Amino acid sequence: MKKVVSVVNLKGGVGKTTTAVNIAACWAEMGKKVLLVDMDPQGSASISLGVMNEGNELLEALQKTAGLPVVATELAGLDLVPSGMALATAGMWHADSRGNDILAQCLEQTPGEWDFIIIDCPPSLGFHTMNSLMTCRYVIIPVETSFLGLNGLKQMVSALESFKALNPEIEIEAVIPCRAHRRRRIHWDIMDTLKEMFPRKVSPIIRENVSLAEAPGRGKPVILTDRISNGADDYRLVSLWLDERINGTEDPELNQVRQLISSI
Ligand SMILES: Nc1ncnc2c1ncn2[C@@H]1O[C@H](COP(=O)(O)OP(=O)(O)OP(=O)(O)O)[C@@H](O)[C@H]1O
Ligand SMILES: [Mg+2]
């Protein structure tokens, strides 16, 4: 199976798109070939890479179960399947779960070779997210280290448990603490809970960082807009950590050192 990763969380605004875009960019920077599939009708991942799209081509591909529309981005090694508002109607022609594996079939027919395919999902469990979860093996969940963030994570985990009946292959590969405020006590309380709930699966943190908030407005990932910012550093580290996890090349001792550094 190709290395297909879905970035999901039913809670909105937690950093799914920021994570999908910036991990995809960091992997490309590491020399990997990456396809980012924007499955959100908001089109935020596309906009964040400077691509304005109505989503008609992607909608048509899904309706015809044909190859996906792939465009190159400014960053060598990073390709994109752009999305937009038209995609909001996707799935209306399928009233039951038979429509859940359309994206997987489209991907099979899409010419191109990628080391990683990463899918940005909307904050809902409709057609778009269901199709993404049927297509992937690895699930990553960005989570805010707040009380409501933890609650949203629990809801997501229970939804994924039910979903395993449809795709038994899926695995929560990583929980990524996003928009972290290390000076807040709640951050550390939630981090402790996350590590108990997901031993070895909690990534180094992504700090709240102004460069990450500004990059989408410039249509580029943060490694291109502010390459030595905290945001760029954090996503580079998480991308390396995740690549090692997925490829089974992680070094537990090195990871302990990284966790220590990120808790300073
Ligand atoms: N680490 C961060 N530091 C600062 N701003 C951030 C960070 N992560 C995300 N943001 C900002 O927070 C907002 C929400 O982030 P993002 O769009 O990635 O969330 P999302 O989970 O994809 O939202 P949605 O559920 O609507 O798809 C955006 O304006 C984004 O630029
Ligand atoms: Mg999003």
Domains of the chain by start residue, with CATH: 4-262 (3.40.50.300)
Closest ligand 1 atom to residue 206 Cα is: 1
Which atom of ligand 1 is nearest to 179's Cα?
Answer: 1
- For residue 90, the model assigns a pLDDT of 83
Distance 239 CA to ligand 1 centre (A): 17
DSSP 189-210: HHHHHHHHHSTTTBPPP-B--H
Task: Please write the tens of the pLDDT for every residue from 53-112.
Answer: 999 999 999 999 999 999 999 999 999 999 999 999 887 766 555 688 999 999 999 999
Q: What is the mean pLDDT of the chain?
A: 93
**pLDDT higher than threshold 90 for residue 146:** yes
Above 90 in pLDDT, residue 250? no
* Cβ(178)–Cβ(187) below 8 Å: no
Grade residue 245 by pLDDT with cuts at 50, 70 and 90.
Answer: very high
Please, which pLDDT band fits residue 3 given cuts at 50, 70 and 90? Answer: very high
pLDDT digits (tens, 9 = 90+) for 171-226: 999 999 999 999 999 999 999 999 999 999 999 999 999 999 999 999 999 999 99
Q: Please check the confidence at residue 262 and state whether its pLDDT lies above 70.
A: no
How would you classify residue 91: left for phi > 0, otherwise alpha for psi between -120 and 50, otherwise beta? left
Q: Is the pTM of this model over 0.85?
A: yes
Alpha-carbon distance of 163 to 49, in angstroms, equals 31
Could you tell me the pLDDT band of residue 249, with boundaries at 50, 70 and 90? confident
Nearby residues of 74 by Cβ (< 8 Å), 6 or more positions away: 49, 50, 220, 224
Cα distances from 227 to residues 147, 190, 235, 237, in angstroms, run: 32, 29, 11, 13
Residue 95: its pLDDT value, please?
55
17 pocket-lining for ligand 1 (C-beta < 6 Å):
yes
Question: Could you tell me if 108 and 141 are in contact, meaning their C-beta atoms sit under 8 angstroms apart?
Answer: no
Whole-number pLDDT of residue 162: 92
101 CB near ligand 1 (under 6 Å): no
Contact yes or no for 36/80 (Cβ under 8 A): yes
CA dist 22 to 49, 179, 188, 215, Å?
A: 10, 14, 24, 10
d(CA 213, CA 169): 34
- What confidence category does residue 264 fall into, taking pLDDT thresholds of 50, 70 and 90? low
Question: Contact, 235 vs 174, CB < 8 A?
Answer: no
Query: Nearest bound ligand to CA 218?
Result: 1
Pocket probe mutation, ligand 1, options 17, 36, 182, 218, max atoms within 8 Å of Cβ? 17
Q: Percentage of the chain surpassing pLDDT 90?
A: 87
Assign residue 51 a region (left: φ > 0; alpha: ψ between -120 and 50; beta: otherwise).
beta
Q: Is the CB of 90 under 6 A from ligand 1?
A: no
Structure tokens at 92: 């209306």
With a cut of 70, say whether residue 32 has pLDDT above it.
Answer: yes
CA–CA dist 244, 80 (Å, integer): 23
Residue nearest to atom 31 of ligand 1 (CA): 213
